[in-house]
Amino acid sequence: MCLLEAVRYWDDTEIQCYAHSHRALDNPLRNAHGLPISAGIEYAAQAMAVHGALLAPPHQLPQVGYLTSVRNVQWSASRLDDTGAEITVQASRISGNEVSLLYDFRVLCHERLLLCGRAGVMTQPPAATKIILAVL
């Protein structure tokens, strides 16, 4: 499922994408009441994933990322599908290493902030802990 239309801008720490899929009647995140504002978190997660792919070294597959936390989420609308024809999705990496990243994200319609928050992403799951059972 790809919800983003295209990347408008990106650099080492930021990405800005736009989308029209929030208005689509067949949007896979849509429910009987429309597209809830919480779906904006998925739009932001996809922007973060695209950012990671763009930063991957040439000739190397990007690492798989797992959304591990979302916090400080604030919204000013109850739905995404009743906003304008285009939404902008921004993500800014504020810290990170080989294993985890922290992003601030924003979803806007024109200049109106619809949703913002912070998301943690794990790029490599921790090594499995081995438990050895001894029979006495």
Residue 131, in any domain of the structure: no
Which residues make beta-bridge pairs with 27?
none
The whole-angstrom separation of Cα 42 and Cα 100 is 18
Residue 52, in any domain of the structure: yes
Residue 136, in any domain of the structure: no
Residue 71, in any domain of the structure: yes
Which contiguous run of DSSP H or E holds residue 93? Answer: strand 87-96
Residue 128: pLDDT band by 50, 70, 90 thresholds? low
pLDDT in tens, 52-99: 999 988 888 778 889 999 999 999 999 999 987 899 999 999 998 888
The residue written with tokens 């295209």 in the block is 6
Distance of CA 2 to the CA centre of its chain: 11
Residue 83, in any domain of the structure: yes
The residue segments making up the domain with residue 57 are 6-122
CATH of the domain at 107: 3.10.129.10
> Can you give the pTM of this predicted structure?
0.88
Position 131 pLDDT exceeds 80: no
Residue 129, in any domain of the structure: no
Residue 132, in any domain of the structure: no
How many domains does one find in the chain?
1
